[in-house]
């Protein structure tokens, strides 16, 4: 076909122009779509890194709060432990005297009061300290309740060293626990020393846990980004 035909025929010229416009529009649309896709990718990446940064900031705030509470509670436990240690010293001296001469004297009760911070209603803030600290606080709580029960009975009935608590520890009457010949209640002073000893050990363990160095927590999202966010 003669090329001159396309140069002079209006229909041919219109067809060529239409094809050119369509091609340009298609190319322009492709660039717009590519730009939009790239923009969406960039926006998503920025949102992701922003979220990670926010999580990291919240994690650091949590760590700071936990450290502050750990320090405050360690001071409270330290004071409580000192009071219990003084009571243990007196109770063990009474036990020693009782074993020596079987004398019957009133048990000296310090009525050590458990700090409000260590009570059950603070369980949410206790959770800041980690699982081991929470377990030890529960042990302290149980030991404190046992001691308070004995102190209350001493206050009401003036329990003496050779008497028995109403909630006394039962011990086998035979030489070994396997002998089936009944049980007898422990002497009051023995029970009292055991209750104080248990509380003292629990407080010492808790104090050690609260004052041990704390490592930084591992970030579960982007471990390779630690120090960069």
Determine the pLDDT at residue 223. Answer: 43
Q: What is the Cβ-side half-sphere exposure of residue 92, based on CA atoms within 13 angstroms?
A: 10
* CB contact set of 18 (below 8 Å; sequence gap of 6+): none
Per-residue b or e along 21-37, where b marks 16 or more CB atoms closer than 10 Å to that residue's CB: eeeeeeeeeeeeeeeee
- Tokens 């042990």 identify what position? 139
pLDDT of residue 77: 94
**pLDDT reported for residue 122:** 79
Phi–psi pair at 17, nearest 5 degrees? -65, -40
d(C-alpha 9, C-alpha 5), whole Å: 6
Residue 122's region, left for phi above 0, alpha for psi from -120 to 50, else beta, is: alpha
What pLDDT sits at residue 224?
36
Q: What residues of the chain score a pLDDT lower than 50?
A: 2, 5-6, 61, 217-229
At 133 the three-state DSSP class reads: helix
User: What pLDDT is stored for residue 23 in this prediction?
Assistant: 65
Q: Which residues pair with 183 in a beta bridge?
A: 172
The predicted structure's pLDDT at residue 35: 65
CB 185 within 8 A of CB 168: yes
**pLDDT in the model for residue 169:** 85
**pLDDT at position 67, please?**
78
pLDDT in tens, 44-74: 666 665 655 655 655 564 566 667 888 889 9
pTM of the predicted protein model: 0.64
The full DSSP string for 37-80 is HHHHHHHHHHHHHHHHHHHHHHHHHHHHHHHHHHHHHHHHHHHH
CA distance 165 to 114: 21
Q: What is the pLDDT of residue 173?
A: 72
């Amino acid at each position: 076909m003669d090329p001159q035909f396309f140069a002079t025929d209006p229909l041919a010229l219109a067809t060529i122009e239409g094809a050119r416009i369509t091609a340009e529009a298609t190319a322009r649309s492709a660039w717009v779509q590519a730009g939009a896709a790239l923009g969406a990718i960039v926006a998503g990446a920025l949102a992701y890194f922003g979220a990670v940064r926010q999580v990291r900031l919240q994690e650091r705030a949590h760590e700071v709060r936990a450290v502050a509470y750990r320090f405050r509670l360690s001071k409270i436990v330290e004071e409580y432990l000192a009071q219990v240690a003084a009571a243990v010293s007196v109770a063990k001296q009474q036990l020693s005297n009782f074993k020596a001469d079987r004398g019957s004297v009133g048990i000296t009760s310090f009525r050590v009061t458990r700090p409000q911070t260590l009570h059950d209603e603070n369980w949410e803030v206790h959770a800041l300290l980690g699982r081991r600290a929470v377990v030890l606080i529960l042990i302290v709580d149980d030991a404190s309740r046992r001691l308070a029960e004995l102190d209350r009975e001493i206050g009401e009935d003036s329990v003496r060293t050779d008497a028995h608590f109403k909630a006394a520890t039962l011990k086998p009457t035979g030489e070994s626990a396997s002998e089936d010949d009944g049980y007898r209640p422990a002497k009051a002073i023995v029970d009292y020393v055991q209750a104080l000893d248990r509380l003292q050990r629990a407080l010492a363990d808790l104090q050690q846990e609260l004052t041990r160095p704390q490592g930084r927590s591992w970030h579960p999202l982007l471990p390779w980004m630690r120090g960069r966010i």
